[in-house]
Amino acid sequence: MIRSAAVRDKPGRGLRTLRVYSIAVAFLVAAVLAGALVGAADLNPLATVTALLDRIPFVHLPSSLTPLDRAVLFQIRLPRIVLGALVGGLLAVAGAGYQGVFRNPLVDSGLLGASAGAGLGATIAIIYLAGSGPAAVPVAAFVGSLAGVAVAYSVGAASGSGTANLLLAGLAVGMFLTAIQTYVLQRSSQDIQQVYSWLLGSLATATWHQVAVVLPYSAVSVAVVLLHGRHLDVLSVGDEEARSLGMRPGWIRLAVVAACALAAASAVAVSGLIGFVGIIVPHAVRRLAGTSYRLVLPLSLLFGAGFLVLADTLARTVLAPAELPIGVVTALIGSPVFIWILRTTRSVRT
């Protein structure tokens, strides 16, 4: 009787998994379509969809889009949608990965000095490297973000094992870097506007070139994080018991933190600081699919991608022709959702 119950359950679990993946993919497709159809230029929905499908290999569909409409779709909207999806997926996966590594539901992709380092790097680039081309700011943000994490990680690891040391070191390094950034910014107040608009995040300048630059880093970092889902599940029983199960928690932590830092830095480099995606998306996923990282990580990738595409669509349409910073949109949606999560999880965990 017991055995039959256990056996009967297997397909049930597979079906549930299939269902949540279908929801995630449907959400992402809906977000992409919304992003492609909504905007200043009025594109015919049917023609847009057929034009999009026509780009899929081996699919040939005639579309009635004018050459101008095509340019709007493929050179303006689509790179922005794809970049937004990439950034959202990266931020959500990095947030989920950090939450697993630190066994702490409140940590985010900007952890360990990543955001502060990126902020400092971008500020320095905007103020002092204005003449050195458009690549200066993303490169400086990328380097700053990784350097922030590297310093925080080495300081934290040198002051003892365990996760609390790392988080505290990250906090200290982050505040230190933010202090320097504020000081630098204060000394050249004419750039404040530009720095702040970068800090709040934007996808307005998205190009296919940016997508191509970020793609390799994204692929590597996401692959490494996703491959560690099972290890993060084991880590949930604590370092000591994970070790007694033959795992090396220090090594897993280093690998996942490095990959998450790379993911977050790639995202930050092309989009600025976009908050909350790394917290609210993984939490929403947990409510839908449970807490196993083997599901939470890939689903965070899909939902994060869809969420940021939707947020960016709102950012560029709500006050059109002006644009809201996307960081403002994610925080406006994110804060109430986050409060709701706090309230409901308190009642679950006794």
Partner 1 sequence: MSEPTVPGLDVRGLDVDLDRTPIVRAVSCAVGPGGWLAVIGPNGAGKSTLLRAVAGLLPYRGEVSVGGTDLGGLSARERARLLAFVPQTPVLPPDITVEEYVLLGRTPHLGYLSGPGRHDRAVAERVSERLDVSRYAERRLATLSGGERQRVSLARALAQEPRLILLDEPTSALDIGHQQHVLELVDELRRAQDLTVVTTLHDLTTAGQYADTLVLLDEGRVEAGGPAAAVITEDVIARVYQARVTVTADAQGRPVVTPVRATRSHPRSP
- Per CB under 8 A, 15 contacts partner 1: no
Distance CA 96, CA 94 (A): 5
Per residue, the 3-state secondary structure of 78-124, as one string, reads HHHHHHHHHHHHHHHHHHHHHHHHCCCCCCCCCCCCHHHHHHHHHHH
- Per CB under 8 A, 3 contacts partner 1: yes
Q: Are 231 and 252 in contact (CB under 8 A)?
A: yes
Which one, 204 or 247, has the nearer CB to partner 1?
Answer: 247
- Per CB under 8 A, 16 contacts partner 1: no
- Per CB under 8 A, 6 contacts partner 1: yes
- Per CB under 8 A, 292 contacts partner 1: yes
- Minimum distance from residue 241 beta carbon to partner 1 (Å): 6
Write phi, then psi, for 199 (nearest 5 degrees): -60, -35
Size of residue set near partner 1 by CB under 8 A? 28
- Per CB under 8 A, 75 contacts partner 1: no
Of 154-162, 169-177, 234-242, 331-339, the segment contacting partner 1 by CB under 8 A is 234-242
Write phi, then psi, for 265 (nearest 5 degrees): -65, -40
Distance CA 78, CA 317 (A): 15
Mutual orientation of helices 208-227 and 249-271 as an angle, nearest 10°?
160
Residue selected from 245, 319, 339, 342 as contacting partner 1 according to rule CB under 8 A = 245
Residue selected from 233, 288, 332, 341 as contacting partner 1 according to rule CB under 8 A = 233
The DSSP element (H or E) to which 261 belongs, if any, is helix 249-271
Distance CA 228, CA 209 (A): 30
- Per CB under 8 A, 236 contacts partner 1: yes
Residue selected from 22, 243, 250, 336 as contacting partner 1 according to rule CB under 8 A = 243
- Per CB under 8 A, 165 contacts partner 1: no
- Per CB under 8 A, 193 contacts partner 1: no
- Minimum distance from residue 164 beta carbon to partner 1 (Å): 15
Distance CA 118, CA 275 (A): 13
- Minimum distance from residue 266 beta carbon to partner 1 (Å): 23
Which one, 34 or 258, has the nearer CB to partner 1?
Answer: 258
- Minimum distance from residue 3 beta carbon to partner 1 (Å): 7
Which one, 162 or 290, has the nearer CB to partner 1?
Answer: 290
Q: Are 151 and 173 in contact (CB under 8 A)?
A: yes
Residue selected from 46, 135, 227, 318 as contacting partner 1 according to rule CB under 8 A = 227
The contacts of residue 228 (CB under 8 Å, 6+ apart) are 97, 252, 255, 256, 259, 293
- Minimum distance from residue 318 beta carbon to partner 1 (Å): 36
Distance CA 187, CA 321 (A): 33
Q: Which residues lie near partner 1 (CB under 8 A)? A: 2-3, 5-6, 9, 227, 230, 233-234, 236-238, 240-241, 243-248, 286, 290-292, 294, 348-350
